[in-house]
Structure 1
Amino acid sequence: MTQPLKRPLSGLLLNRFITLFKYSVGLSLLWWLVALPVQAAVEMRVAVAERLDRLAVGSSTTAIVKDAGGQGVGQLPQGRSVTVSAEGRALRLADWRGQAFWVEPANGGYVFINNTWYRGRVLVMPVEGKVTAVNWVDLEAYLYSVLGAEMPASWPQEALKAQAVAARSFALYRRDRSASQLYDVGPTTAHQVYKGLASEAPATVAAVNATQGQVLTHGGRIIEAVFHSSSGGQTENVEDIWQRSLPYLRSVPDFDQDAPVFRWSETFSAGQFEQRVTGIGRLVSASPEQVTPRGRVMSIRLQGTSGSRTLTGTELRQALGLRSSLFAIAIQGDTIRVDGRGYGHGLGMSQWGARGLALQGYAYPQILAHYYQGTVLGQIQVAAQW
């Protein structure tokens, strides 16, 4: 049985072009925009729903339904949704049963998955006896949504452009390493936030179009262009956080002083802390055992009335719901106060820092050169689709 759908927001046209150019910029470095090898049109695979008992799928236009092998089995009517459910190792989509199904909107339509509209098409498949939906979407169209979800559309255009290049680079880095997996990225901060059409805005779409195909490279390879909200004044060296060696993720001064999370504090009652960090009783002392040169907590020993535990900074951050692992704990009677700075892991580009530099008049290549040291701004070339 089909259900009527609400109409999606009007889409913004994707302006495709192929170009090669160069220019030199930099706070202290000289960059040259270089061409990378020509490749076919790039699609991202985004897992927008994972391991659900059932989900709804539909289309803003008539959609073609294909089986796992790509053979057409029928159509979905415009503006109606159907339920997809798992049946053992197979799926049931409306009246069809099969190993997996493609739903491909016709005439530039949008696909509907569980109350959210997306560009592109969707592959639904069984995973561990549940239903997973993967949105296959053009790279630039994917970025239309990511940019609007990751950075406010009201921010300076140069900051938005810097975010677009970083997000494109990160997406392609992930894509190159996920060929054997079911998808390239998820829709959350674990990778990049993706909300479909709902997070698109004219300003963010313009920033994606203005930087179309541009990526950051180091040693001829697209970089892992991670980013975060705010570092609290200074970003981190990657080896201090992830024990990896990436020469372009170096500690640099941040320009995020306007961030509302530049400094923050949280307070917990002794009982609240005991509920969130179990096994030690009431907290008596908190002693960082390992910190980065910038003060970010890597491990901390918690001594309580009935035991002790050593946690990583990330583990304690998650247990207490803190914004970052750049914090200090003070026990004040029956209250535990946590004072901290920044939001996120502190690696790569700070979004609030990018905003700060843009407001000072820096262009997006300069912003990127600051946060990703020694990188080159390159242009992927997309083969013409005739």
Structure 2
Amino acid sequence: MHKGYLFVFLGLLLVITVIPAVLVWIGSDSSPTLADSGATKSVDEQKWKVRVFLTEEQRVVEIPLEQYVCGVVASEMPADFAMEALKAQALAARTYIVDRMEKGNFKDMAEWGEKAKSAYVTDTVQHQVYTTNEKLHREWGNKYQQNWKRISEAVAATKGEIITYQGKPIYAAFFSTSNGQTENSEDYFNEKYPYLRSVSSPWDETSPKFLQQQSMSLTQLIGKLEKSLGIKISLSASTGEPLLKVINRTQSNRVAQVRVGDKLLSGRKVREALNLPSSDFSWKITGDRVQITTKGYGHGVGMSQWGANMMAKQGKKVEQIIKYYYHGVDISPIPDSSSVG
């Protein structure tokens, strides 16, 4: 009898302690605890909470900094990339949000509606792509535990660290794949940053996004440009000029200016209006069809994610990757004196 009571007692104890913990984890919107990297770096989680506007759900959530960084890394870089590349992505993601929160300029949130005004960032490419833990479960399926372990290890290994230039967080621009060389910041964003200088990135040629082609009619091309840019383009042949002509290219061989009919346009505007993967583009006109070839994927400024991955596979460490793509920078703890908002 006593032995039977003992078994009942142990069973009840198990129910009381284990099941509630499981239910709490399942019902939580937050991510599981970060993997223990053995690091002693600390972050004031009460101070550094990120307010994110979830565009699909039309609501604002408040997330501890390191969990937010996990959600960004999981969204912006494949989980099977090399660990040192994932660490580099974590540093870039954390630096971006710390810089934005310190500056406290969130005026652009108003364009997302009244509900978004209290947030610091959206979960879109306008800022940094962020995915909730619930969505990651759905997207990764049975690879969730494996992928989350890698992401959380990379984030934990860089916990509380950002990329700085002369003691201040940088604008940590990054993109998928270069055309073999990164872009000077002023050639795409108009603003010149001393740490965003063009560098060779030959590893990107192995990326599946390095070379792409698409075709459309000349009428479609002109229509997209006119609609996006709010202009009227004349294709009069009387001038004797080609309908489409590159006027000049940037240092990294991306299109700086292009003439389309009677209009002179920037390569960036054409890229965005036509939704091209890159501003390194060329074309071939056959009859009424235009075949456009692009090299690279993304704006080309800052760290190439594919280049970072290949550098890591060749044995480069996170600090080497960061200092290669961002000139003259340091990897530093978030300053205690930093102010949020």
Q: TM-score range by the shorter chain?
A: 0.7 to 0.9
**1:150 deviation in Å?**
0.4
Q: What residue in structure 2 maps to residue 188 of structure 1? A: 124
Contact 1:230 1:351 (8 Å CA) reproduced: yes
Q: What residue in structure 2 maps to residue 47 of structure 1? A: 53
DSSP 3-state at the match of 1:158: helix
Q: What residue in structure 2 maps to residue 302 of structure 1? A: 260
Contact 1:19 1:381 (8 Å CA) reproduced: no
Aligned residue pairs, count? 279
Q: What residue in structure 2 maps to residue 155 of structure 1? A: 81
Letter in 1 for 2:171: E
DSSP 3-state at the match of 1:256: helix
**1:180 deviation in Å?**
6.1
CA distance in 2, matches of 1:381, 1:244: 26
Q: What residue in structure 1 maps to residue 239 of structure 2? A: none
Cα deviation, 1:41-63, whole Å, max 9, x if unaligned, reads 311121223xxxxxxxxxxxxxx
Contact 2:35 2:149 (8 Å CA) reproduced: no
Contact 1:329 1:337 (8 Å CA) reproduced: yes
**1:243 deviation in Å?**
2.6
- Unaligned stretches of 5+ residues in structure 1: 1-5, 21-34, 50-112, 115-131
Cα deviation, 1:65-87, whole Å, max 9, x if unaligned, reads xxxxxxxxxxxxxxxxxxxxxxx
**1:381 deviation in Å?**
6.4
Match of 2:183 among 236, 245, 249: 236
Cα deviation, 1:142-182, whole Å, max 9, x if unaligned, reads 01110010011111111101100111111111111225653
DSSP 3-state at the match of 2:51: strand
Scaled by the length of structure 2, the TM-score of the pair is 0.74
Q: What residue in structure 2 maps to residue 264 of structure 1? A: 212
Match of 2:63 among 137, 151, 157: 137
1:286 equivalenced with 2:238 (yes/no): no
Cα deviation, 1:181-230, whole Å, max 9, x if unaligned, reads 53322211111101111237221121111111111111110111110001
Match of 1:206 among 135, 147, 153: 153
CA distance in 1, matches of 2:48, 2:121: 14
**1:382 deviation in Å?**
7.2
**1:281 deviation in Å?**
6.3
CA distance in 2, matches of 1:374, 1:135: 35
Q: Which moved more, 1:175-184 or 1:264-273?
A: 175-184
Q: What residue in structure 2 maps to residue 333 of structure 1? A: 287
DSSP 3-state at the match of 1:242: coil
**1:253 deviation in Å?**
1.1
Contact 1:229 1:344 (8 Å CA) reproduced: yes
RMSD over equivalenced CA pairs, Å = 2.8
Letter in 1 for 2:81: W
- Relative distance call for 1:177 and 1:351 in structure 2 (3 A) is same
Scaled by the length of structure 1, the TM-score of the pair is 0.66
1:100-139 counterparts in 2 under 5 A? 114=57, 133-139=59-65
**Relative to total residues, which structure has the larger strand share, 1 or 2?**
1
Letter in 2 for 1:195: T
CA distance in 1, matches of 2:45, 2:218: 58
**1:326 deviation in Å?**
1.0
**1:282 deviation in Å?**
6.3
Letter in 2 for 1:168: R
1:48-67 counterparts in 2 under 5 A? 48-49=54-55
Q: What residue in structure 1 maps to residue 324 of structure 2? A: 370
DSSP 3-state at the match of 2:101: helix
1:344 equivalenced with 2:292 (yes/no): no
Identity across the alignment (%): 35
Q: What residue in structure 2 maps to residue 322 of structure 1? A: 276
- Unaligned stretches of 5+ residues in structure 2: 1-25, 108-117, 137-146, 227-231, 237-241
Contact 2:34 2:153 (8 Å CA) reproduced: no
